[in-house]
Amino acid sequence: MKYSSVWTAFALAASVVAVPSRRTDFRIKESVAIPRRWVKRDSAPRDLHINLRFALPQSNFPLLEQLLYEVSDPSHESYGAHLSQAEVNELIAPHPESVRQVKAWLASYGLREEDMSCSPAEDWIKVKVPIGLAEEMLDTEYHMWDHPEGDSFVLATAYSLPEYLHEHVELVQPTTLFSRLRSMKTTLHFAPSGASSAAVANAPPIAVPSASNGQVDASCNSTITISCIRQLYNAANYTPLADTGNQIAVTGYMEQFASFSDLQTFFAEQVPSAVNSSFQVVSINGGQNDQSMLGSGEANLDTQFAFGLAHPIPPTFYSTGGSPPFIPDELTVNNTNEPYLEWVEFVLQHPNPPTTISTSYGDDEQSVPTSYATRVCSLFAQLGARGVTLIFSSGDSGVGDGNPDPATQECFANDGTNQTRFLPAFPASCPYVTAVGGTVQIPEVAVNFSGGGFSNIFSQPAYQSQQVENFLKTLPNGTYAGLFNASGRAYPDVSAQAVNFSIVFEGEPAGVSGTSCASPTFAGLVALLNDARLRNGMPSLGFLNPMLYALNGAGFNDITSGNNPGCGTPGFNATVGWDPVTGLGTPSFGKLKDLIGITD
């Protein structure tokens, strides 16, 4: 063990007295303002069953965070000494008194020990109960809530707990989470005619000094392929191995299925060496990958590019179930607006999770209660401490809300004031993940939809403070005053190409754009870097950000042109150094490989 087990001191008066009556001294634990455009419908059926999750305080999370930064900092003596699953669980286990008090309270409602399922560290307790009982336990009311774009959830705008339980419970869900998960994909279109594509392909190569062999095929300025990415990001001549223990994964939500047949067509066209290879499908919460149904642009994009770039590194597609619309007459909640909990809890229980995982989904940060965002972000930190690199798309709405059309964005703070504010994205705003923005063209410029900005929930981590300060000095005094939180966690961290990716969809060539393209692209390159480390007896990179910012631009192509408009403004500008449009820039695999200690 790298540390001695220390329990955080708890002022637990309840530990020496009997458990109070379950119906006395209730006090509101959490309440939220109703987000714009959500409409309350009927009361939820009282016999409808939901899975209530109780998050118990993690006893030593500050120490876990400290160790995460130490094992992720290349200047620290513990760099790369990732924690084991058992070490992480010991650090985040709640105080036994919290477990006792919560279980005793649940038992007072007739719930037996076998009705309660716990995470390995017992920091989560889950029970399946009818709505009527949940309303009694939480002194609340559940209703059906509808969003005009089709989402429908069972939610409460506030809930309460007995006074004595407040110090033992951080949050309860599903309650106040008006989150609308969406893929970060702006467009999907079918490919142009072969004649026009051939004309571009016959043009002379584009000179790019940082690229492999100093040039990139001219066709890459109209269509991005695996070859384009490898050329542009200086990885054309690298071949990974299949047996180093390295793994790569992408996540799928909202019944987004990845087609095996489309993958084979894609491989035949772009990665011939990968033909007849496939990926493992892992089902979470009833997630499927039904091949009798049409595949999806999002899942096909993620699997084709991440796994195509990383082949033959073993790939996994996580299919997490639960998606709207809710069907009330089934008397069970099959949908969920909290899929990250389902997914990350599952992966944390795996003794050997993939070393690189890409997610191209997100939501407006303000739709996520602070308690929920903080807890989910802490789960991401646990994976990072174990040597897993988590990569998220930064969003497709510039500095605005989830609407990719800047002209129709509604950038209002969800705090009752209706003040205009830039709207950051979550989970991209979590300081324990790597957020990837988007670029376009060769030579590269920032693409105008690249999500970026500053969190209103998470404070700015020390690893990026100098680069962010340098950027803020470039803004004229008063620029966007009151529209963003300059002391918040700033994102994206890096960027990659995000426009006109050539995939196969329903057996036909199609083009996709969005930071959904950038995330699996960057993930594929990280998987190659992990391959280089593992085959040389070094540990995986794990949480990237402290290392990336310590490099201070080395190993990256600085993007200095373009902006990300939104909320009726031009947004931020890409500039020299880090910026909230393209981060530190786009990767140069060859340079990064040398910088992480691997030489040919």
Neighbouring residues of 339: CB distance < 8 A, sequence distance ≥ 6 = 181, 253, 285, 320, 322, 361
pLDDT of 539: 96
DSSP 98-152: HHHHHHHHHHTTT--GGGEEE-TTSSEEEEEEEHHHHHHHHT---EEEE-TTS-E
- Same domain? 497 vs 399: yes
- Same domain? 344 vs 206: yes
- Same domain? 319 vs 408: yes
- Same domain? 156 vs 238: no
Residue 235 has pLDDT above 90, yes or no: yes
From 150, 178, 206, the end of a domain falls on 178
Say which range, 112-126, 298-312, 326-340, 360-374, has the weakest mean pLDDT.
326-340
- Same domain? 262 vs 385: yes
Residue 15 has pLDDT above 60, yes or no: no
- Same domain? 34 vs 145: yes
Strand partners, 361: 183
- Sign of CA pseudo-dihedral 410, 414, 420, 423: negative
Kindly report the pTM of this predicted structure.
0.91
Query: Annotated binding residue at 577?
Result: yes
Q: Which pair of structure tokens corresponds to residue 444?
A: 């590269």
Active site (annotated) includes residue 222: no
Residue 68 lies in a domain: no
Residue 408 has pLDDT above 70, yes or no: no
Using pLDDT thresholds of 50, 70 and 90, give the confidence band for residue 7: very low
**d(C-alpha 324, C-alpha 255), whole Å:** 10
Strand partners, 440: 445
- CATH code assigned at 236: 3.40.50.200
- Same domain? 293 vs 236: yes
Q: How many residues does the chain have?
A: 600
Query: Annotated binding residue at 559?
Result: yes
**d(C-alpha 308, C-alpha 313), whole Å:** 10
Residue 9 lies in a domain: no
Active site (annotated) includes residue 141: no
Q: What's the mean per-residue pLDDT of the chain?
A: 88
pLDDT of 376: 94
- Same domain? 305 vs 189: yes
Using pLDDT thresholds of 50, 70 and 90, give the confidence band for residue 403: low
Residue 587 lies in a domain: yes
Strand partners, 485: none
From 153, 178, 203, the end of a domain falls on 178
In this predicted model, what pLDDT tens digit does every residue of 62-91 receive, in sequence order?
999 999 999 999 999 999 999 999 999 999
Instruction: Average the pLDDT over 165-172 and give the result.
Output: 97
Instruction: Average the pLDDT over 284-309 and give the result.
Output: 82
Q: How far is CA 4 from the centre of its chain?
A: 31
Q: How far is CA 354 from the centre of its chain?
A: 15
pLDDT of 580: 98
Query: Annotated binding residue at 579?
Result: yes
Instruction: Average the pLDDT over 466-489 and give the result.
Output: 95
Say which range, 52-61, 134-143, 246-255, 450-459, has the weakest mean pLDDT.
246-255
Question: Which of 73, 135, 217, 298 is the catalytic position?
Answer: 298
Residue 77 lies in a domain: no
- Same domain? 300 vs 217: yes
pLDDT of 199: 60
Crossing angle of helices 260-270/297-310, nearest 10°?
Answer: 50
**CA distance readout (Å), 445 to 450, 559, 566, 576, 599:** 11, 6, 18, 12, 30
Tell which phi-psi region holds residue 499, choosing left (phi > 0), alpha (psi between -120 and 50) or beta: beta
Q: How far is CA 186 from the centre of its chain?
A: 17
Residue 2 has pLDDT above 60, yes or no: no
- Same domain? 465 vs 385: yes
- If one compares 91 and 298, the residue with the highest pLDDT of the two is 91
- If one compares 285 and 200, the residue with the highest pLDDT of the two is 285
The pLDDT > 90 percentage for the chain reads 72
Task: Tell me which H or E stretch contains 171.
Answer: strand 171-173
Q: Count structural domains, the chain.
A: 2
Instruction: Average the pLDDT over 582-596 and give the result.
Output: 96
Instruction: Average the pLDDT over 215-225 and give the result.
Output: 96
pLDDT of 412: 84
Residue 75 lies in a domain: no
- If one compares 554 and 335, the residue with the highest pLDDT of the two is 554
Range of the domain at 320: 183-595
- Same domain? 230 vs 159: no
pLDDT of 46: 92
Question: Which of 65, 262, 302, 401 is the catalytic position?
Answer: 302
Residue 119 lies in a domain: yes
Nearest to 119 by CA among 340, 384, 347, 368: 347
Q: Which pair of structure tokens corresponds to residue 59?
A: 């006893």
Query: Annotated binding residue at 558?
Result: yes
Residue 12 has pLDDT above 60, yes or no: no
Residue 72 lies in a domain: no
Residue 325 DSSP symbol: S
pLDDT of 14: 35
From 178, 195, 223, the end of a domain falls on 178
Neighbouring residues of 66: CB distance < 8 A, sequence distance ≥ 6 = none
Using pLDDT thresholds of 50, 70 and 90, give the confidence band for residue 18: very low
Using pLDDT thresholds of 50, 70 and 90, give the confidence band for residue 402: low
Using pLDDT thresholds of 50, 70 and 90, give the confidence band for residue 341: confident
Using pLDDT thresholds of 50, 70 and 90, give the confidence band for residue 190: low
CA atoms within 13 A on the CB side of 280: 12
- Same domain? 259 vs 149: no
- Sign of CA pseudo-dihedral 432, 52, 167, 414: positive
Q: How far is CA 314 from the centre of its chain?
A: 21
Residue 66 lies in a domain: no
CB 130 within 8 A of CB 48: yes
Active site (annotated) includes residue 302: yes
Question: Which of 160, 516, 540, 588 is the catalytic position?
Answer: 516
- Sign of CA pseudo-dihedral 156, 377, 309, 517: positive
The three-state secondary structure class of 295 is coil
Q: How far is CA 342 from the centre of its chain?
A: 13
In this predicted model, what pLDDT tens digit does every residue of 366-384 receive, in sequence order?
888 899 999 999 999 999 9
DSSP 173-208: ESSS-----EE---EEEEPPPHHHHHHHHTSPPEE-
Residue 180 has pLDDT above 90, yes or no: no
Residue 563 has pLDDT above 50, yes or no: yes
- If one compares 329 and 448, the residue with the highest pLDDT of the two is 448
CB 247 within 8 A of CB 280: no
Instruction: Find where tokens 């960057």 sit.
Output: 522
Burial class (CB in 10 A: 0-12, 13-18, 19+), 482: exposed
